[in-house]
Amino acid sequence: MYFLGHVYSHPSVATELIEAARIGGASEVRIFFTMVLRLLAPAMVTIFLFIFIATWNNYLLPLMMLSSEELQPVTLGLYSMMVYFSPDKGAVMMGALLGVTLLIIIFLGLQKYWHAGLAAGSVKGKTACISSPIENLLI
């Protein structure tokens, strides 16, 4: 994840913007919090989603660590539902749908940050477009 953040940070943070803020009298802390973090929002959202999905879909670590059935994640619940209970495919598919629903909601809520960064258009020659594909369909 560090590599992804490092690779994304160089092209998205324009040195012209940081130099202009320094000339304007902004401190390094203010430049970081008001400019750099906003410029890196798409990278931070992407890294957050990768980590969240990896944790949400984790199977092996909870299988080894958890002994209580109340603390099991969705993946272990689906597995135990398939193995120990009736192999009803409809119930397993409904459980999988319920397990994926939160991921779909998070993707739809954060997709505008992937589409374009907040700094697009702040440097000459770049354009800004932060609308989501779903909003374009509704218009």
Average pLDDT value for the chain: 76
Closest by CA position to 104, among listed 75, 96, 60 = 96
Assign 134 a pLDDT band (cuts: 50, 70, 90): very low
Residue 101's pLDDT is what? Answer: 92
Model confidence pTM above 0.85: no
**Predicted confidence (pLDDT) per residue in 63-120, tens digit:** 888 888 888 888 888 888 888 777 778 888 888 898 899 889 988 888 877 665 444 4
In percent, the amount of the chain with pLDDT more than 90 equals 3
pLDDT at 94: 87
Predicted pLDDT of residue 4: 63
Residue from 72, 47, 54 nearest 62 by CA? 72
Nearest to 134 by CA among 115, 117, 120: 115
